Amino acid sequence: MKPLALIAFLATFLLLATPGRGQERVLYKELDSIQLYIEFYSPEKKDTGHLFPGMVFFFGGGWKREKHYQFQEHAKYFSKRGIACFLADYRVADKHNTTPYEALKDAKSAIRFVRKHANEFDVDPSKIIASGGSAGGHLAAATALIPFYNDASDDLNISCIPNALVLFNPVIDNGPGGYGYDRIGDNYLLFSPLHNIRTGAPPTIFHLGTKDKLIPVETAEYYKMAMEKAGSRCELKLYEGKGHGFFNYHHFDAYKETVRETDIFLQSLGYLDKLPVVKIE
């Protein structure tokens, strides 16, 4: 960060060093006694004035459980590749007694925060990627596609719409028969990404195992078809015999494969160069 910008940033936000877990934690939202943080993984600075793409990760857990470091290894890898990475907290039922609607409000706040403070993070605000797995994949897709459920404290003049999506077995259908309908009900028409695909939707890569019991392959194929019909790019990557959560770091071979495919996708958007080569480990 530039010296003056860094001083202003430190004066405005609480930064907590966390050894071994990124570089700094930034308070991005406060509601009464609840404090929500983004953990920032900074790429190596290339030269003065260089801006990086930014990638905001949302953990899975059914909007119920907190798994903040689910994408820690992804963030380490992509920050080495030249992307500023962020692990975002959001409210969940088990910890905050909240609904999926609050989770989506927080996800939108997180994207807006990164875009508002892009200069302090050395991020290009026109190259912000939203990513997540399962319910976190829903949140990533919903920041792009769902115009409803904005926090009253947010500055709506700042767009929460990312420029690209990287989705890992995302919950994209909240309708009857889809995941979350028991909590969303008929509001699915306002909440479900599958039911709100529109012209101008960001280019997307969608990773899914063929044995996923929560997200059927047929649903993903329909999502891809609807995206392409709307004029948006959607790459669907199917992984034979893999179940839900197959992409997580402890499934190392699948983790490597999904990271490699994501890297190629981001290269195709012009967000990454082929160099530096970084070992996926």
pLDDT digits (tens, 9 = 90+) for 141-197: 999 999 999 999 999 999 999 999 999 999 999 999 999 999 999 999 999 999 999
The answer, yes or no, to whether residue 112 has pLDDT greater than 90, is yes
Can you give the pLDDT at residue 68?
A: 87
Give 257-268 pLDDT, tens digit per residue.
999 999 999 999
pTM exceeding the 0.75 threshold for the entire prediction: yes
> Is position 276 within any domain?
no
The CATH number of the domain holding residue 245 is: 3.40.50.1820
Can you give the pLDDT at residue 93?
A: 96
CA distance 260 to 264: 6
Nearest to 64 by CA among 31, 28, 102, 108: 102
Give 64-101 pLDDT, tens digit per residue.
999 989 999 999 999 999 999 999 999 999 999 999 99
> Is position 107 within any domain?
yes
The answer, yes or no, to whether residue 5 has pLDDT greater than 50, is no
> Is position 11 within any domain?
no
Contact in structure between 253 and 223 (CB atoms under 8 Å):
no
Contact in structure between 79 and 72 (CB atoms under 8 Å):
no
The count of domains in the chain is 1
> Is position 24 within any domain?
no
User: In the numeric block, which tokens belong to residue 41?
Assistant: 């993984």
The answer, yes or no, to whether residue 39 has pLDDT greater than 70, is yes
User: In the numeric block, which tokens belong to residue 209?
Assistant: 């195992």
Can you give the pLDDT at residue 28?
A: 97
Query: Which structural domain range is residue 252 located in?
Result: 42-268
Q: Dihedral (C-alpha) 157, 119, 165, 106: value to the nearest 10 degrees?
A: -60
For 28-32, what is the mean pLDDT? 94
> Is position 21 within any domain?
no
Can you give the pLDDT at residue 23?
A: 72
